[in-house]
Structure 1
Amino acid sequence: MLEEEYQPRRQLPRALRPKPVPEAPFSYTIRPASAEDLPAIRDIYNHYVANSTVTFDEKAMTIRDWRAKYARLEQLGMPILVAESPSGQLLGYTMVYPWQSKAAYRYTVEDSIYLGPASTGKGLGKALLGALIEACIDAGIREIIAVIADKGADASIRLHASYGFKEAGRMGRVGFKFDRWLGTVMMQKSLKKRRRPKA
């Protein structure tokens, strides 16, 4: 080895060192999704299809799939929201869709929240779920069901519990993905109708 490799590095005096540039704060806007958001929504969702058990889907969804889903939610008046960075990048999305197809279930929905991998752990999931709950109240929805994988989704269980979702049941070994059996935790939140101010 060369002798200079052993010599300590010289440093500028503290007063002359450049100040570290502070990291920009994590900021976003939550808004209703539009059809133009569907490619980014697809990409976020398909990341989880390929890499995790938080969704039991095993096959990537196409833009055609998402267009059909989006059109159905619009027709039903059910909310689908996105979080967008100041630069226009989609950071995550949340939505509800009918819990079951029978007419009597029309006031009950299942929720879904997915964040881009770089947006996790920053409080965005909590903000999206809060906005979704408000949008559901405005849409006249009365019950929200969360169906959460029983392995690898502890953060989702904690997130829903923080908004008052209560565990409503568990099902074991109902899904098989990545060569292992998975169960689900079902959580439920009842919504109250918004009171209109008296005239």
Structure 2
Amino acid sequence: MEPRVRPAEKADMEAVAAVYAHYVTQTGITFDEQAPDAAAWRVRLLDLRERGLPFLVAETGGEVAGYALAAPWKPKSAYRYTVEDSVYLAPGRTGAGLGTLLVGSLLGACAEAGIRSVIAVIADTPDGAQAAASVALHERHGFSHTGRLEGVGYKHGAWLDTVLMQRALV
């Protein structure tokens, strides 16, 4: 069955919470150390809707297989045309093109929302191995490298870096 990308709904937030919880508890891909529950995700969904920002899910076989969203980059009003993307796939759903589908759809939705720039903040190990797939995904969508912050996060007993990438939409 072909995957489809659609706007996220409140009913999707249990699945979104489960997808994200895997990365919180099992990896250093996110710097969160406590996984938000579905109620917290519903609040986030409503906040992004009120801001006119996209929150999308990829669905295959009637199940949420991943999600992508655009959140404000910084709280100061001068940053209102810049967002940070987040893209997560359910365990076992990587390598099938869902990330490509989600990022492409997210960029289109951001452009429609009047966003000028999308920032990717990608957690990485100092050797660059952890972020390789995410970096490649963003490069395929025209993101360029803008920097690397070294040792800015500590999780699961390891210091982590962040790779910064940017894509202009105008």
Match of 2:38 in 1: 63
TM-score normalised over the length of structure 2: 0.95
Bigger-Rg structure (1/2): 1
Are positions 1:179 and 2:154 aligned together?
no
Deviation of 1:149 (Å):
1.2
Q: Deviation at 1:150?
A: 2.1
What is the letter of the counterpart of residue 166 of structure 1?
Answer: S
Aligned to 1:129: 103
Amino acid at match of 1:160: H
List runs of 5+ in structure 1 lacking aligned partners: 1-25, 193-199
| Counterpart Cα distance in 2 of 1:56 and 1:154 | 17
TM-score, normalised to structure 1, is: 0.81
Partner of 1:93: 67
Query: Relative contact order: is structure 1 or structure 2 higher (C-alpha 8 Å, sep ≥ 6)?
Result: 2
Q: CA–CA distance in 2 between the matches of 1:85 and 1:67?
A: 21
Please report how far the alpha carbon of residue 53 of structure 1 lies from its aligned counterpart in structure 2 after TM superposition: 0.8
CA distance in 2 between partners of 1:91 and 1:27 (Å): 12
- How far apart are the structure 2 equivalents of 1:135 and 1:70? 15
Which of 51, 65, 69 aligns to 1:76? It is: 51
Q: Which protein has the bigger strand share?
A: 2
Q: Secondary structure at the match of 2:18?
A: helix
1:107 is displaced (CA, Å) by 0.2
Q: Distance in 1 between matches of 2:2 and 2:33?
A: 32
2:15 aligned partner: 40
Q: Within 1, Cα distance between the matches of 2:55 and 2:132? A: 23
State the AA in 1 paired with 2:17: R
Q: Secondary structure at the residue paired with 1:91?
A: strand
Distance 1:164 1:117 in 2: 26
Q: What is the CA–CA distance in structure 2 between the aligned matches of 1:186 and 1:97, rounded to whole Å?
A: 15
Residue 174 (structure 1) shift:
0.4
The equivalences for 1:14-29 within 5 A come to 27-29=2-4
Aligned to 2:124: 150
Q: Which amino acid aligns with 2:97?
A: G
1:17 aligns to what?
A: none
Q: Which 5+ residue runs of structure 2 have no aligned equivalent?
A: none
Q: In structure 1, what is the Cα distance between the partners aligned to 2:10 and 2:63?
A: 15
CA distance in 1: counterparts of 2:20 and 2:68, whole angstroms: 11
- CA distance in 2 between counterparts of 1:85 and 1:31 reads 11
